[in-house]
Structure 1
Amino acid sequence: MTHIATSRPFGTLLGYAPGGVAAYSSDYDSASDSEYPKRSAFRNYVDGIYMGYKWQCVEFARRWMYLNHGYLFDDVPMAYDIFNLRSVRDIASNTRLPLQAFANGSKRHPQPGSLLIWEQGGEFEQTGHVAIVTEVFADKIRIAEQNLDHTIWPDGRDFSRELIATITEEGEYWVACSFNDALILGWMIQTDDDRYAEASVETNKQLFSLSSHYAKPLLEPQKSWLNVANEDEAAYVHALHGHKLSAAVADQYRYYVLSKTAQDTLRRATNELHGLFMHATDYVLDNEALLDKFNLPRALLPKIRQSWDNRLNQLITSRFDFAMTTQGLKVYEYNCDSASCYMEGAKIQGKWARHYGVHEGEDAGKDLFNQLVQAWRKSQAKGLVHILHDHDPEEKYHALFIQQTLEAAGIESRMIAGINALTWGESGNIVDAQGEVLQWVWKTWSWETALDQIRLECESDAVVPENYQPASKKGQAPRLADVLLHKNIMIFEPLWTLIPSNKAILPVLWSLFPNHPLLLNADFQLNEALQESGYVSKPIVGRCGANIQLIDQDQDIIEATGGQFAAQDHIYQALFPLPLVDGYYVQVCTFTAAGKYAGSCLRVDSSMIISKESDCLALRFVNDEDILQQNQPVIKK
């Protein structure tokens, strides 16, 4: 609630909470464009540690805890998510300390320093809210906070407001919210004492165990089941030489299952990790020393930063690669630029299940197509979208599938195989064979393909241009780089996706969020901890599992792949092998649409390293009870 008469401009000091921690106005409408010219200017760091966005409620709570106690709670998507946390990280010792949640009305009363948490809804729609408890009385509590109103605290006061409280005869402590449409969840206390705390439900680890199942054999197993009247399905049948999901005949009936709890975990992990990767991207673009490690042509850095500032919310889709085991869920990397498997995930695995009569659980990619359609509708693409793809059969059916999502979104598109049909036209624009100017482009090529051309061109010059622009040559064919880096052409996925797709982002993430449960230890240098755990050597830029080495604790090579990326710089990531399930190593992938979870699929291989040749097999999500029942040991009488 904003009090207009006394509202202070963004960044105005409102007061000091106990410990001398400042609270500031978060009136974003009054933020100065010159002082805050871009998004990164709103990020606040203390001692090089990220606190949050200036000057939101979560930022204040994290900064207060750090300055007064030296620990932090994990980064969260929304303030109400804090109530689900159960630990904080002690920065000095890099250890975890217990964090207990007490519901409003608990017999464990709040105390100074507690985090008071509001549910989403009402005054705090979508976000919830968090404040620091400064004093506790029998009939009231005092709190300090940011991002509620933008008024200066009265002189001599180290809190922003008071809330009415009541203690019942049973000793329960209840706090009233000052807004009728908001709800206080309770308070968080860093303590070992869990009496009266909300229970931390231990999830049965078997719910994260993949299992292999088989459909019943058909009388006519070779019967066609994909509709070749649809261009994308016809291209898929051509690429796989038949109506099949797996290239291996022995696996035509095989599929895998995971629990609904695993599905929920994947959904939350995907959404959280997207936010972490976006934070790390912003951090890298503001840190020249880190940016150098990404091996990007310096002439393109202004374009990458411009893309980040202007097109952050124009991501259509991306893919995370996970290892899901009973020991935990770990992300390997983020394919944020030119990911694959969309058609297999959104269309083929569902049609396979219907053909083979598999009704167990639900299709892991059933919502993906519609979510991609919605992402296109939210995008700024107007008019004709040109779909650029290579002559590779897989890229063709992938491109045709994306064309289907564009059509469903009401957006006109045109397929372009290769770039030989394109020419430089009038006024420096690039046109297709029909004379249509390219303005919007979706591509299967990775950005890195174009960058190789730019490196050769720019780095051979004595002076590197400040901001690279392709040179127009009327009537001649453009290069791929000319198309992708043309100032009048908007590319999907945007140029900034070069940063989160580069494996150099992995050590950055670990440095920003050390010991995060979804991340693996990663470094630019091979350190002692990685040697002790075993590690994976990865080129910072690579595709399809090329040039990867898996090294065990004895420094022996477990597995390795060749490829064209051997000359690239490498990073080192802790070894966390894929689970071996019924003869195959299985990698779970999740897709995003506009940065949110949109579906899942999986890749399998007899090798520990997933590659371009690895099969996609159907994934089904089934009820937890069915998973646990299947995993019950058989008792022989």
Structure 2
Amino acid sequence: MKRIKISPRSEWQKKVEEVGLIYHTPEGKTYWDESVYYEFTSPEIDLIESATNELQEMCLNAGQQIIDKNRFDELHIPRIVVPLIQRAWDEEPPAIYGRFDLAFDGTNLKLLEYNADTPTALLEASVVQWFWLQELFPTEDQFNSIHEKLLAKWQELKSYLKGDVLYLTSVDDFEDIMTVTYMQDLAEQAGIKTLSLLIDQIGWHPERKCFTDLDEHEIVSIFKLYPWEWLVHEKFGPDLIEVHDKMQWIEPIWKMLWSNKGILPILWELYPNHPYLLEAYFGEPRQMKEYAKKPLLSREGANIEVHTVNGTPLATGGDYGEEGYIFQALAPIPNIEGNYPVLGSWVIDGVSAGMGIRESVQLVTDNLSRFVPHLFRH
């Protein structure tokens, strides 16, 4: 694995906008960064792919453990949604995607967390870096079959979806809207009729007992880029619980098991000293001297404390933590000229599909991190 400096393409802003990336320089800060790229070897890519598939299998076993041993309280999952999760887990409704965040130094690979419910940085990994590769390195390869696998999954779902229209929703945020727009485009390519709307444009019809769009049409199938742990605590949470089983939810509610950092100590318990796992515990760091303290539900690197033998060199702000914490050993994220890369390894329809890389100037990847393209040589 090498980090290589390069001159950005002329008019790169226009080029990435043409393939849908409109938030390349939010508030004047670089997000899409093609002044560098990462180069991998074929064996390194093979390792990342096989590790991703193995981690996916391990998470299936960990999810089964939570359900079989009734460990929902450890993840602070509200009891009222437990029957919905149990039913959805057993019935296996469609689940499209997730993103493992991995630390990788060229040799050692470790799971940091699993963004299994509402992962973003999708368009960048699937489309934008692919066009970058085609223009600059057309004879090289990239670990990236994300677009093809997503399209195939939507094609498979066409006959499965309930109702005539697939609704797609998110909050009014550039990145979320672009992710939803990309998913909507894929669904349309698969022959599915779609309609997108913001989460606060969804209504509840008390007489008909259903969620509705702005024209009061019933919403039956919905792709929601909005976390389940937020949905169930909204004022319409009780209504959602009442009608949940009549609707088609993508991602399904059982993803609450994986998008919660409580999955990390459960994985360590099931697979102690596994080469792809970092030591992790509920409640306390135990014997660990260097570790990260992470809220069960934090997003974008919020409320994380990094503890080293020299003290606490890094603590991020945010609104999480009331739900409890886990303690995870520090990852071997390489420091390359002051940059810390984290691999976002995509899982589409349960299978490893490609990756995107985000770089930070600190150990914690947050929403100011930069997306950097990659390639690999055979």
2:48 to 246, 266, 282: 266
Q: Secondary structure at the match of 1:274?
A: helix
- Corresponding residue of 2:211: 430
Change in 2 beyond 3 A, CA 1:432/1:484:
farther
| 1:28-67 matched pairs, under 5 angstroms | none
Q: Secondary structure at the match of 2:264?
A: helix
Deviations 1:310-364, CA, capped at 9 Å, x for gaps: 12x5210000000011451111111111111110000111223344x23463233
Does the aligned pair in 1 maintain the 2:304–2:316 contact within 8 Å? yes
Give, in angstroms, the shift of residue 405 of structure 1: 1.4
Q: Does 1:358 align with 2:137?
A: yes
Q: Quote the Cα distance in structure 1 between the aligned partners of 2:263 and 2:8.
A: 46
TM-score of the superposition, structure 2-length normalised?
0.91
Which structure is richer in relative contact order (CA contacts within 8 A, separation 6 or more)? 2
Q: Quote the Cα distance in structure 1 between the aligned partners of 2:161 and 2:82.
A: 24
Aligned AA (1:281): G
Give, in angstroms, the shift of residue 469 of structure 1: 4.7
Q: Secondary structure at the match of 1:225?
A: helix
Aligned AA (2:30): A
- Corresponding residue of 1:504: 262
Q: Quote the Cα distance in structure 1 between the aligned partners of 2:357 and 2:117.
A: 19
Does the aligned pair in 2 maintain the 1:577–1:608 contact within 8 Å? no
Q: Secondary structure at the match of 1:256?
A: strand
Change in 2 beyond 3 A, CA 1:302/1:227:
same
Q: Quote the Cα distance in structure 2 between the aligned partners of 1:584 and 1:340.
A: 21
Change in 2 beyond 3 A, CA 1:520/1:222:
closer
Q: Does 1:318 align with 2:98?
A: yes
Does the aligned pair in 1 maintain the 2:31–2:371 contact within 8 Å? no
TM-score of the superposition, structure 1-length normalised?
0.56
Q: Quote the Cα distance in structure 2 between the aligned partners of 1:318 and 1:252.
A: 25
Does the aligned pair in 2 maintain the 1:578–1:587 contact within 8 Å? yes
Change in 2 beyond 3 A, CA 1:227/1:392:
closer
- Corresponding residue of 2:317: 562
Give, in angstroms, the shift of residue 612 of structure 1: 1.7
Aligned AA (2:194): S
Aligned AA (1:371): K
Does the aligned pair in 2 maintain the 1:388–1:419 contact within 8 Å? no
Change in 2 beyond 3 A, CA 1:324/1:423:
same
Does the aligned pair in 2 maintain the 1:388–1:444 contact within 8 Å? yes
Q: Quote the Cα distance in structure 2 between the aligned partners of 1:484 and 1:269.
A: 39
Change in 2 beyond 3 A, CA 1:409/1:271:
same
2:197 to 416, 425, 429: 416
Q: After the TM superposition, list the runs of 4 or more consecutive aligned residues in structure 1 that deviate by more than 4 angstroms.
A: none
Q: Secondary structure at the match of 2:186?
A: helix
Greater C-alpha Rg: 1
1:540 to 291, 296, 315: 296
Q: Quote the Cα distance in structure 2 between the aligned partners of 1:446 and 1:271.
A: 24
User: Identity over the aligned pairs, expressed in percent?
Assistant: 25
| 1:216-295 matched pairs, under 5 angstroms | 216=7, 220-221=10-11, 224-226=14-16, 228=18, 233=20, 236-237=21-22, 239-241=23-25, 247=30, 251-288=33-70, 290-295=71-76
Aligned AA (2:24): L
- Corresponding residue of 1:157: none
Aligned AA (2:3): S
Structure 2: which 5+ runs fail to align? Answer: none
Q: Does 1:441 align with 2:247?
A: no
Deviations 1:341-392, CA, capped at 9 Å, x for gaps: 110000111223344x234632333x11110111223332243110011101
Structure 1: which 5+ runs fail to align? Answer: 1-209, 458-467, 471-481, 624-637
Structure holding more helix per residue: 2
- Corresponding residue of 2:333: 578
